[in-house]
Amino acid sequence: MALRDFVNPNIVSLTPYQPGLPIEEVAREQGLDPGEICKLASNESALGASPKAIEAYLACATELHMYPDGGAWEIRHKLAEFYDLNPDQFILGCGSNEILELVGHCFLNETSSVVYSQYSFVVYQLVAKLFGAKGIEVPATDGLGHDLAAIRAAIQDDTRIVFVCTPNNPTGTMFSAKEFEAFIENWPQDVLLVLDEAYAEIALGSDIKSLQYLSHEIPLLITRTFSKAYGLAGLRLGYGISSPALIETLSRARQPFNVTLPALKAGLAAIEDQNFIHRSQDHYSKSCAVFEKFFKKYDIPYIPSGANFILVQTGNGQAVFEALMEKGVIVRPMATYKLPEHIRISYGTDKENQKAIDALIQVLSLES
Ligand SMILES: Cc1ncc(COP(=O)(O)O)c(C=O)c1O
């Protein structure tokens, strides 16, 4: 017997997460100048990060020999002030992905199940598999959004977690406050509802004010991140918001010092720079209009999106992805999400958006 024969079967059956391709790799493989490549593949911030966050990041360079504050006191208090909640309602993570994994640590095992929508963030099924829980994938609506009634109906006696996401990655679809309220009515007390709001600060046209539901006496965890609108994806900083009791449970599974010092410092400064968020919202709403106009002009089917990306049906997504890559535009093919006809394009700067549109015109042989 070799060590590999003893690998946890939950791990053996896992398909590792496939991230968007890094610029350096595409430059190497396509023989392109990295400066010429635009990466529109991972829903990162088009405007970089807040200058104040960058300043705070640089300023902590002389403190790098010290461990960060394991309890994240400052940023939890800042978030509490910002949202008018209590500091003990927040847990910080190495990206919101870590928070999604912590719920698995706390609530899942081989006897439990997890419910999530088809065409939703792939990490939900990864978390279910990691802990040997059964994943129950609920068919999406015709518009590729969450079918909340069907998700609710899919809950079994052994279901411990339901993941929902708005705006949803990779479709950009959203559900309304009214739909969400119907969804959570008489919510079972033994099922944790995780509302993934990674794109909350963008959420173009959304009417959900999710924090108010924290007082509804249901087991609700809201997850948010500094990776998207705040532009701190490289630092890895996300958080969960819930009841103090649930936060305390999740904290037990957290590793000491799970969040780095620069992430804590930059995150703190980023919250204070809401002007940056407003500028970003404005930019994404304009970018959305630019792409929608283009798709409408050429009759290319797309899914209306509330996030900083858009899912578009180009036909043969893998081939289109490869052809765009040769032109220095990295997007995300969607075959791993079982949408082989689609690609997902994250919004970039105005220049990058135009480069993507020009490249699509050539790749799809459209008349310009
Ligand atoms: C819906 C959703 N949730 C969570 C995440 C995880 O983000 P992070 O771990 O960077 O906070 C992402 C990242 O793409 C996402 O799209």
The rounded mean pLDDT for the chain is: 96
Which protein residue's CA is at the shortest distance from atom 2 of ligand 1?
198
Mutate to test the pocket of ligand 1, among 42, 97, 239 (most ligand atoms within 8 A of CB): 97
Mutate to test the pocket of ligand 1, among 42, 45, 96, 311 (most ligand atoms within 8 A of CB): 96
Q: Does pLDDT of 319 surpass 90?
A: yes
Q: What are the counts of helices (DSSP H) followed by strands (DSSP E) for the chain?
A: 13, 13
Q: Does pLDDT of 273 surpass 80?
A: yes
Q: Does pLDDT of 357 surpass 80?
A: yes
Give pLDDT, residue 216.
86
**Closest ligand 1 atom to Cα of 170:** 16
115 three-class SS: strand
Expressed in angstroms and rounded, the spacing between residue 1 Cα and the centre of ligand 1 is 38
81-128 pLDDT, tens digit each: 999 999 999 999 999 999 999 999 999 999 999 999 999 999 999 999
Q: Give the E-state strand segments of the chain in sequence order.
A: 38-39, 90-93, 113-117, 134-138, 159-165, 192-196, 220-225, 238-241, 302-303, 309-313, 329-330, 332-333, 342-346
Q: Does pLDDT of 40 surpass 90?
A: yes
Q: Which residues pair with 39 in a beta bridge?
A: 330
User: Is ligand 1 within 6 A of the CB of residue 43?
Assistant: yes
Encoding tokens for residue 50? 């807040």
Domains of the chain: 7-48+275-363 (3.90.1150.10), 52-273 (3.40.640.10)
User: Is ligand 1 within 6 A of the CB of residue 346?
Assistant: no
**Closest ligand 1 atom to Cα of 236:** 10
CB 99 within 8 A of CB 259: no
Which protein residue's CA is at the shortest distance from atom 16 of ligand 1?
169
Give pLDDT, residue 111.
97
Which protein residue's CA is at the shortest distance from atom 13 of ligand 1?
198
Give pLDDT, residue 54.
98
User: Is ligand 1 within 6 A of the CB of residue 177?
Assistant: no
175-187 pLDDT, tens digit each: 999 999 999 999 9
User: pLDDT band at residue 18, thresholds of 50, 70 and 90?
Assistant: confident
The residue written with tokens 């490249």 in the block is: 359
Q: Does pLDDT of 25 surpass 90?
A: no
CB 154 within 8 A of CB 185: no
Give pLDDT, residue 368.
73
Rounded Cα gap, residues 190 and 95, in angstroms: 26
Query: What is the arithmetic mean of pLDDT over 270-286?
Result: 97
In angstroms and rounded to an integer, the radius of gyration of the C-alpha atoms of the chain is 21
User: pLDDT band at residue 213, thresholds of 50, 70 and 90?
Assistant: very high
Q: Does pLDDT of 252 surpass 80?
A: yes
User: Is ligand 1 within 6 A of the CB of residue 238?
Assistant: yes
User: Is ligand 1 within 6 A of the CB of residue 97?
Assistant: yes
Expressed in angstroms and rounded, the spacing between residue 123 Cα and the centre of ligand 1 is 9
Q: Does pLDDT of 31 surpass 80?
A: yes
Query: What is the arithmetic mean of pLDDT over 333-344?
Result: 96
Which protein residue's CA is at the shortest distance from atom 12 of ligand 1?
198
Rounded Cα gap, residues 346 and 166, in angstroms: 16
User: pLDDT band at residue 20, thresholds of 50, 70 and 90?
Assistant: confident
Encoding tokens for residue 31? 């023989």
Give pLDDT, residue 82.
98
User: Is ligand 1 within 6 A of the CB of residue 121?
Assistant: yes
Give pLDDT, residue 32.
86
Expressed in angstroms and rounded, the spacing between residue 368 Cα and the centre of ligand 1 is 35
